[in-house]
Structure 1
Amino acid sequence: MNRPYPPHDLATLSDLEMLDRFVPAPELLEWIRATFLDEASPLFNIEHVHLRDAALGVLWTNCDNSKQLRAVIGQAELMPPMAMGKWQRARAIQQVEEWFDGMPDFLLTFSAPAAAGMDDPSFCALVEHELYHCAQKLDEFGMPKFKQDGTPAFVMRGHDVEEFVGVVARYGAEAAGVSAMVNAAKAGPTIGRASIAGVCGTCLRSVA
């Protein structure tokens, strides 16, 4: 299945009337499931297997967003929305339910202008980054936790590494606590560009 791209009117910021829009992306959700959650896919990731039965909502947006001096181009949220006033939360819940005909377990939002300019490896990395945030809770024994109805109990997962390049440069990976990440980078990617091109179908010219 070829990688879906955002609608053209969301991917360009020239029309002031098109600012701050959010549009459901069912084609992107279908691609995510087929690419990362289907065992038959070359990009299948067993670490996301708990999401196969999860309700996922996916949005494109052209709304500019920045946080701590960095542009935010993807975001994962546990639903329903919580951190807001009562009316704001009720309004947000109504909007999400109208978008997806019910409340999803997680809401994934991607910047349309950023996605439109990404090559396939970068876009795959962005999508998987957000999927990694969508985790299943663990019990006191480290086993996957389920709710009373037998469905997975979900939670947001933080990053494996939070550090500055300068700290690593000055004190080393071990002192900074990022040895595992550095070792993974040195080992090289387990998924090559050829595999990504075979699934996405749009970056064949960049395959070495």
Structure 2
Amino acid sequence: MPPADQAEGVEAWFGPAPDLAEWASASFIDDAAPLRNPDHEHLRSASIGFLWTNVPNAKKGRMVIGTAEPGAPQGAMGKWGRAKATLQVTEWFGMVPDFIITIDASWWLQASDAEACALIEHELYHCAQDRDEYGAPKFNRQTGRPVFAMRGHDFEEFIGVVRRYGADAAGIRELIEAAEAGPEIAATSIAQCCGTCLRA
């Protein structure tokens, strides 16, 4: 849990969440994890830094409660800007992790267990191992470590296309079958609250 005084404070705050990182790995990634998800197996060798924040965030008119992003600073910034961003990340985590997941601490304090699990897994799904042109997992030739990348959603389609032409035409048959089978853990509602998703 984030510190309540920081989560509800008026000063903008970002703070490392090593306990949340440990819990996420122990819950979803490790071999003995009670909610182990084989879809996250590639993350066993990834370093993932978690941050709490109390800074309200919205994109495209929707509240953002979590984001996943590469650990190394991205985007167009000058040499000093990149150096400052890298220094900040290193001060938070002691190194530059493969991924950083940021969670809205105020939301987390009122979330149900199922909502919290759903959000963390959603963000973990954005953290992927890169693939080559043949679809095989990529590895760094010098280190042998996996090459990591951000992952988009499994599908994006208009409801009207599905309504008019069916799930097969839209390529979402597996999604519909998964929905019809019902939730494996619990029903939740975190749709449209991920900042990573809203970047597109």
Fold conserved between structures, TM > 0.5: yes
> Is there any run of 5+ residues in structure 2 with no aligned partner, and where?
188-200
Q: Which amino acid aligns with 2:50?
A: V
Is this contact kept in 2: 1:55–1:104, CA < 8 A?
A: yes
Aligned-partner Cα distance in 2 for 1:183–1:33: 28
Q: Once the 2 structures are TM-superposed, how far is the Cα of residue 161 of structure 1 from its aligned partner? A: 2.7
Q: Once the 2 structures are TM-superposed, how far is the Cα of residue 21 of structure 1 from its aligned partner? A: 0.9
Aligned-partner Cα distance in 1 for 2:58–2:115: 19
What percent of counterpart residues are identical?
A: 53
Q: Once the 2 structures are TM-superposed, how far is the Cα of residue 128 of structure 1 from its aligned partner? A: 0.5
Deviations 1:3-56 (A, max 9, x none): xx22102332xx43x2x2100001001101111111112201111111112111
Deviations 1:108-145 (A, max 9, x none): 10000111111111110100111011100122332211
Q: Once the 2 structures are TM-superposed, how far is the Cα of residue 190 of structure 1 from its aligned partner? A: 2.2
Misfit runs of 4+, over 3 Å: 163-179
SS of equivalent residue, structure 2 residue 33: coil
Aligned-partner Cα distance in 2 for 1:11–1:118: 13
TM-score by length of 1: 0.81
Aligned: 1:150 with 2:136 = no
Correspondence for 1:83 among 70, 75, 79: 75
Aligned: 1:6 with 2:24 = no
Q: Which amino acid aligns with 1:49?
A: E
The number of equivalent residue pairs is 185
SS of equivalent residue, structure 1 residue 60: strand
Q: Once the 2 structures are TM-superposed, how far is the Cα of residue 168 of structure 1 from its aligned partner? A: 5.0
Q: Which amino acid aligns with 1:7?
A: P
Is this contact kept in 2: 1:10–1:113, CA < 8 A?
A: no
Aligned to 1:160: 154
Aligned to 1:188: 182
TM-score by length of 2: 0.84
Is this contact kept in 1: 2:114–2:185, CA < 8 A?
A: no
